[in-house]
Amino acid sequence: MTNRPLIIAPSILGADLGRIEAEAERIKASGAEWVHIDIMDGHFVPNISFGTNMVRVLRRLMGEAILDVHLMIEQPDRYAGDFIEAGADCLNVHLEARHQVARTLASIREKGCRAGLAINPATLLKHAAPLLSQCDQLLCMTVNPGFGGQPFLAEVLPKIREARELILRQNYNIDITVDGGISDATAVACMKAGANIMVSGNHLFQQADLTQAVANLRAAARSGNVSG
């Protein structure tokens, strides 16, 4: 359960990239608050997606929409400035990547961008805990990063609950993102555990009516925001 505002973030990886302008219009009309952009380097994850050019294109096409950029790359500190300059509003960097995480988070904030810490399903919260005071958002991967369309890993739910409790206890101002395999059913469980940013790729873009899909996901997540 969370008292933070619910944010729906369609993941552009699930969109039809051959029709990027039409997809951007569809997202803008859908009522989704954010757009999630997955950057993969073929090293940190076994897949390559896109780079700063995609962020720049979406900055132009999406108007004022919040661009939530997820760096699944090694040495994210080397590229953070370029992504911010391209138009990222939030930059999520992985705890497991090769860099000085605390320093990278600080430099993202210094540049006026929201700093997100992303953790893989197998990474324990105790490793992220000392860094939370430097974050605006904690991204809990609910699949192993690298590909869209993978099944949700329910074993991450206790960690989300633990994170929300820690954040409340410490009085941190932090959103919790879930990313991977998010559908109406899994969003209920994530919201119940304390997440409030729902990233969803395949599930949303597979549906012909994106506006309805976003509304359904929102309603499902809200129904999970109950104590217990």
Question: With binding defined as CB under 6 A, does residue 202 bind ligand DX5?
Answer: yes
Q: How far is the CB of 227 from Zn ion (least distance, A)?
A: 29
Among 14, 76, 194, 224, binds ligand DX5 (CB under 6 A): 14
CA distances for 128 relative to 57, 82, 116, angstroms = 32, 25, 11
> For the chain, what is the largest distance between any 2 Cα atoms, rounded to a whole number of angstroms?
46
* CA terminus-to-terminus distance, the chain: 8
Q: Which does 148 bind (CB under 5 to 8 A by kind): Zn ion, ligand DX5, none?
A: ligand DX5
Nearer to Zn ion, 136 or 179 (CB): 179
Q: CB–CB of 179/140 below 8 Å? A: yes
Among 149, 185, 212, 222, binds ligand DX5 (CB under 6 A): 149
Among 8, 15, 23, 38, binds Zn ion (CB under 5 A): 38
Among 76, 116, 181, 194, binds ligand DX5 (CB under 6 A): 181
Tokens of 100: 């000085």
Q: Which positions from 162 to 191 touch Zn ion by CB under 5 A, shown as an x/- string?
A: -----------------x------------
Q: Which does 181 bind (CB under 5 to 8 A by kind): ligand DX5, Zn ion, none?
A: ligand DX5
Nearer to ligand DX5, 2 or 11 (CB): 11
Q: CB–CB of 165/129 below 8 Å? A: no
Question: With binding defined as CB under 6 A, does residue 38 bind ligand DX5?
Answer: yes
Q: Which positions from 82 to 121 touch ligand DX5 by CB under 6 A, shown as an x/- string?
A: ----------------------------------------
Question: With binding defined as CB under 5 A, does residue 94 bind Zn ion?
Answer: no
The site for Zn ion (CB under 5 A) is made up of 38, 70, 179
Active site members = 38, 179
